Amino acid sequence: MSEQLGAERADRPALTRGRIVDAAVRLVDEQGLAALSMRHLGAELGVEAMALYRHINGREDLLEAMVDALTSRLHLTDDWDLGPEDGWQAYLQKLAHTVRELAYDHPELFPLLVTRHPAAPWLRPPLRSLEVVEDFLTALTGRGFSDDQAVAAYRTFSSFLIGQLLLAVAQRGSIAMAGEEVLDEGGASSPNTTTSLDDFPLVKRLEGKLSEDHADEEFERTLEDLLERIDAEVSR
């Protein structure tokens, strides 16, 4: 009698594009980008790799879908609880911190997000999506920005987010290694040319300061700076 119900085998929920993409994001979060193969992902979903091709147009399409899934989190929704009475600063603050959350939640995927071309070439990472950019422009032009000012702010803001967050994520990613050792340059170099910190006195002296992680304070400070510069531009 249950033969009409179709594909759901016992415990397995139906295979959908959404479930595949979610599983892929989880897999990369837990095991890194290198662990993402169709076969491995299939196994994670209790299915052979070939079954994925019903829902996904190959690996590139999967990566694109993963990036889109993450980006959609930046879409302005009710629980941002921003009214029109809140200034554009409140919106940009909220947006900046949401992108930062995204980067911190998915450090393995964030580089992909800022590195892959969006489908529409004039959309820039990391906002990328038509929805999010529409939100951005609406929020700003609705609060007194001219078209040109809104577009200029979009550029500046994108560049700020990429620079700050890519560095922050890279820094966090490399905390696994111990602080003391400097790797030698590639296994095939002769041992007498091995690099030592002693050849770089200033780096050696400032190693402590260089390795301090001030990413969060710096993010806030630079964001404030940015908002002030935009403000100066707008109220001129």
Partner DNA sequence: ACCTGAACACCGTTCAAGT
Beta carbon nearer to a copy of itself, 31 or 200: 200
* Min CB(108)–DNA separation in Å: 15
Per partner kind, with CB cut-offs from 5 to 8 A, the member of a copy of itself, DNA, none near residue 234 is: none
Of 185 and 231, nearer to a copy of itself (C-beta) is: 185
Residue 214 lies near a copy of itself (rule: CB under 8 A) = yes
Q: Which of 22, 29, 44, 51 binds DNA (CB under 7 A)?
A: 51
DSSP H or E segment with residue 132: helix 130-141
- CB 234 to a copy of itself: min, Å: 16
3 vs 148 by CB, closer to a copy of itself: 148
Per-residue b/e over 139-152, b at no fewer than 16 CB within 10 Å? bbeebebeeebbbb
Out of 18, 58, 144, 173, point to the residue binding DNA (CB under 7 A).
Answer: 58
**List 26, 31, 33, 53, residue binding DNA (CB under 7 A):** 53
| Enclosing H/E stretch for 64 | helix 58-71
189-225 burial: b if 16+ Cβ within 10 Å, else e: eeeeeeeeeeeeeeeeeeeeeeeeeebeeebeeebee
Radius of gyration for the alpha carbons in the chain, expressed in angstroms and rounded: 23
112 binds DNA (CB under 7 A): no
* Residue position matching structure tokens 């629980």: 79
For helices 88-105 and 215-234, angle between their N-to-C axes, nearest 10 degrees:
150
Residues 34-93 that bind a copy of itself (CB under 8 A): 54-57, 61, 64-65, 68
Closest by alpha carbon to 45, among 13, 5, 7, 6?
13
Give the number of other Cβ atoms within 10 Å of residue 123's Cβ.
17
Residues 12 to 41 in contact with DNA, rule: CB under 7 A: 14-15, 36-40
Of residues 119-148, those binding a copy of itself (CB under 8 A):
119-125, 130-131, 133-134, 137-138, 141, 147-148
84 touches, from a copy of itself, DNA, none (C-beta below 5 to 8 Å by class):
none
Backbone angles phi, psi at 190, to 5 degrees: -70, 145
Rank residues 50 and 130 by Cβ distance to a copy of itself and give the closer one: 130
- Token pair, residue 58, equals 């190959």
Site map 59..88 versus DNA, x via CB under 7 A: xx----------------------------
Site for DNA, rule CB under 7 A: 6-7, 14-15, 36-40, 42, 47-51, 53-54, 58-60
